[in-house]
Amino acid sequence: MIKVLVVDDSPLAREMITTILNTDSEIKVIGQASNGKEAIEFLKNNPEKPDIITCDIQMPVMNGFETIEYIMAFNPIPILIVTVLNKDENFMKALKLGALDIIQKPAPDSWTDLPKIGMELIEKVKLLSRVNVVVHLGGKRKARQKEKRKTITTKPIPPEERVIGIASSTGGPTTLLRLFKTLPTNFPAPILVVQHMSEGFFIKGLIEWFKNSIKLPIKKAEEGEIIKQGHIYVSPINIHLKLKGKTIIFDYSEPVKNQKPSADILFKSIAESHKEKSIGIVLTGIGSDGADGIIQIKKAGGITIAQDEETSTVFGMPKAAIETGCVDHVLPLTEIGTFLTELLIENE
């Protein structure tokens, strides 16, 4: 049984969320709180602990940001933000503090959308309740033991001819940010990113957040544009991203493995266009998107990388990629950027 604590200042919203969740026999709402302070008191005093918390952002006394920060520092529990999707920058801040995902809050005027919202809410609660979250306290991360890297035996390739594809899902925004921060201004290869986002989430906010923290140019991919060295291109929501030569192509076909955009589609197109010059990276996320694409990159002679379990928020996608037997390097997040820099710059 998945135990849930519902945190929202609106009594109606709390009841709607509780009612939705309690319709599933595998879920039980064990408590409600009208603000973060009440939520923390519940965690301190109630012997029955939740497996996951749903939390609003705008609340009196102690808002959602403060609640996430406190809980993830002192009593880490998976947190799903359930709020009105109106200010994209708020979502980035919540994810940075440790929340796992964000979905639309059911509202009194959205009765026609309630079945769809309810199904998504139940699905997210079931998936995220299984995530092993980590403490978010600066300076207290355990030192990572470096893995021995396999010797690269591929023939010398001009770094500017390389193309990198990255797949990420749950936990991806903060993971991507940490990775991109490690890449220098003279990084030569273009990077194409498939980050799974909930419907209604805006890529623009993600990109603006990144722009303030990283050294490389980053933008939302546009159909027909030519990729440039050292630029990062993020796929729009609900559109598959492909590469033909150096030209970005949009693919409006059906979801693959319930994902749109699909990393498998991106990786396959990079493998076909750039063969041994392709690099595929699978980061944290639920499911197996990217695994089939990793096989294609490996067959084409490219380099394949997966994030290790210890540094992954969710090890599903990297694990699926590793299990294909086609991943060359399993690395901690802290070493992926260094590996790419050494491969494309320092060893040239």
- The whole-angstrom separation of Cα 345 and Cα 247 is 24
Given a contact cutoff of 8 angstroms between Cβ atoms, the answer to whether 334 and 306 are in contact is no
Give catalytic status of residue 289 as yes or no. yes
Give catalytic status of residue 136 as yes or no. no
Choosing from 289, 292, 308, 328, the catalytic residue is 289
Given a contact cutoff of 8 angstroms between Cβ atoms, the answer to whether 71 and 39 are in contact is yes
Give catalytic status of residue 169 as yes or no. yes
- The whole-angstrom separation of Cα 249 and Cα 269 is 10
β-sheet with 191-195: strand ranges across: 218-220, 232-234, 191-195, 163-168, 278-282, 303-307, 329-331
- The whole-angstrom separation of Cα 196 and Cα 169 is 5
Choosing from 51, 168, 196, 308, the catalytic residue is 196
- The whole-angstrom separation of Cα 267 and Cα 283 is 13
Identify whether 158 is preceded by a cis peptide bond (ω within 30 of 0).
no
- The whole-angstrom separation of Cα 267 and Cα 276 is 12
Choosing from 169, 262, 269, 278, the catalytic residue is 169
Residues designated catalytic? 169, 196, 289
